[in-house]
Amino acid sequence: MPALDPLLQPTRFEWGCATSSFQIEGASTADGKVPSIWDTFCAEPGRIKDASDGRVACDHYHRFADDVRLIAELGFKHYRFSIAWPRITTSNNRLNVAGMDFYKRLLDALDQHGITPNATLFHWDLPAHLEGGWLNRDTAYRFAEYTELVARHLGDRLPRVATLNEPWCSAFLGHDLGVFAPGVQNRAQSLVAAHHLMLAHGLGLQAWRSVQAQTSLGIVLNPELCDPLTDRPEDVQAARLAEWERNDCFLNPLFGREWPDALLEQIGELNAARRDGDLAICAQPLDFMGLNYYTRSIARAPVTVNDAQRGYTFVAPTAPKRLTDIGWEIYPEGLTRVVQNLQAQWPLPPLWITENGAADNTGLAHGAVDDGMRCDYLLAHFEQVAGLIRNGADIRGYYVWSLMDNFEWAHGYSQRFGIVHVDFHTQKRTPKRSALMLQKLLRE
Ligand code: IFM
């Protein structure tokens, strides 16, 4: 049986599991919840691989008490979840008391089990009535109002809060590739969305701090490690462009730095959306940064006209590389490389690995799930975290993605990231081998 590196012992290192609201809550119209852009996106034919949606998901809205008990039984003392903006505000952007009460009940349950909450304010479920979504500057101001509302009602119970989860996905998967809500395909507009997201982050931090000065505040990013397919200069340049989009586009504003010229060229005349003074708003002091890591990318010089706009083409990994069931390369050393790359370029605050995990679709057999690939994946990444800390990185915690199988966005329920199996017909939860392994590691 594997053992945890002494540097990762739960007495000195924070261990948690993570989820997000849209992926697990279900109850999509309960108690005054208004539609999010993911509700409307799922309703559009052809958007979700298995034509599913988040209407029921893991029914966590009704089963949260049992789920929290399970988190405790598995030995986690920390839980990362997100608050659904469209659940706690009305279509007039006012407080929806019933929705807010759900999070109060959730926090009560966590408290009863001695589990510390770690909340994210925006994990992609944007209220659908906000016209123009992230392409509209007003949305950043609505986010600040929403943030202030959460701070007023839950702020004294939330020790650590992140504004956004992986804004790259909202901006680029949502507005350039169009595979995520709202499904727009426009390169320049995706950069406008990225800017408004970072503006929202900055305004949100200002709003929260005006109400609650004690909370530790930050953001969760999914920085890229992108290797060129060959050492031809055009492939090397393509890989750099991919990293600028994924990293510099978000990290530069956080530290008051301008975007690389290549991104300014791509936004073109829509650069007018980026107003004087915005950069200073984005660069609010950060108490922490969350990093989500799953894999690396390989890029080559663009091969299609659309790719030429963004400057690169990704090359899908194939055998003999080891892949998870979603087709992502298993590349644990990338975690070390990406953290070191970031450390070399930006003055990072303390770090938490806020997501890491694998799609391993192994099913139930005789009442158990033998997800050996996920176990190996997790152990290999724990080693990298320990190595980073040993070499001086200030990493304070690790959250496995995810507590349970859930709605995996455009993949619907076809990809399972949970350490707990969910039978979506009966909602029965069954801890997989990976969950039992973690339970044992955290108890020793
Ligand atoms: O499920 C997602 C999560 O919502 C954000 N980070 C990546 C996970 C796996 O794709």
- Largest interatomic CA distance in the chain: 62
Q: Is the CB of 401 under 6 A from ligand 1?
A: yes
The amino acid present at 367, given as its one-letter code, is: G
Q: Which two tokens stand for residue 225?
A: 């490690």
| Predicted local confidence at residue 100, as pLDDT | 98
How confident is the model over 270-324, as pLDDT tens digits? 999 999 999 999 999 999 999 999 999 999 999 999 899 999 999 999 889 999 9
Which residue from 23, 25, 170, 292 has its CB within 8 A of the most atoms of ligand 1, so it is best to mutate? 292
Give the sheet arrangement for strand 313-314, strand by strand.
Answer: 226-228, 297-300, 313-314
Distances (CA, A) of 366 to 75, 199, 363, 369, 370: 24, 51, 10, 8, 10
| Whether residue 1 has pLDDT greater than 80 | no
> For residue 444, how far is its CA from the centre of ligand 1 (angstroms)?
29
Residue 355 annotated in active site: yes
Residues of the chain with pLDDT > 90: what percent? Answer: 98
How confident is the model over 327-348, as pLDDT tens digits? 999 999 999 999 999 999 999 9
How confident is the model over 402-433, as pLDDT tens digits? 999 999 999 999 999 999 999 999 999 999 99
Atom of ligand 1 nearest to the CA of 408: 1
DSSP 56-71: STT-HHHHHHHHHHHH
> What SS3 class is residue 165?
strand
Kindly state the helix (H) or strand (E) to which residue 343 belongs, with its residue range: helix 333-345
Kindly report the protein residue whose alpha carbon is nearest to atom 1 of ligand 1: 408
Residue 234 annotated in active site: no
Contact assessment for residue 24 and residue 58, using Cβ atoms and an 8 Å cutoff: yes
Atom of ligand 1 nearest to the CA of 411: 10
Q: How far is CA 178 from the centre of its chain?
A: 18
- For residue 436, the tally of other CB atoms under 10 A from its CB is 15
| Whether residue 444 has pLDDT greater than 80 | no
> For residue 283, how far is its CA from the centre of ligand 1 (angstroms)?
25
Q: Which two tokens stand for residue 41?
A: 């996106």
The terminus-to-terminus CA distance of the chain in angstroms comes to 11
Phi, psi of 270 (to 5 degrees): -70, -5
Which class for 365: exposed (0-12), middle (13-18), buried (19 or more C-beta within 10 A)? exposed
Domain limits of the chain? Answer: 6-443
Q: Which two tokens stand for residue 98?
A: 């019933």
How confident is the model over 14-25, as pLDDT tens digits? 999 999 999 999
429-431/420-422 β-pairing: antiparallel
Phi, psi of 335 (to 5 degrees): -60, -45
| Predicted local confidence at residue 165, as pLDDT | 99
What's the CATH fold of domain 6-443? Answer: TIM Barrel (3.20.20)
How confident is the model over 111-125, as pLDDT tens digits? 999 999 999 999 999
Atom of ligand 1 nearest to the CA of 292: 6
| Predicted local confidence at residue 96, as pLDDT | 98
- For residue 59, the tally of other CB atoms under 10 A from its CB is 17
d(CA 155, CA 176) in angstroms, rounded, equals 35
What pTM, to 2 d.p., does this model score? 0.98
Average pLDDT score over residue span 138-144: 98
Please report which confidence band the pLDDT of residue 97 belongs to, taking 50, 70 and 90 as the band edges: very high
The amino acid present at 109, given as its one-letter code, is: A
- What's the mean per-residue pLDDT of the chain? 98
> For residue 21, how far is its CA from the centre of ligand 1 (angstroms)?
12
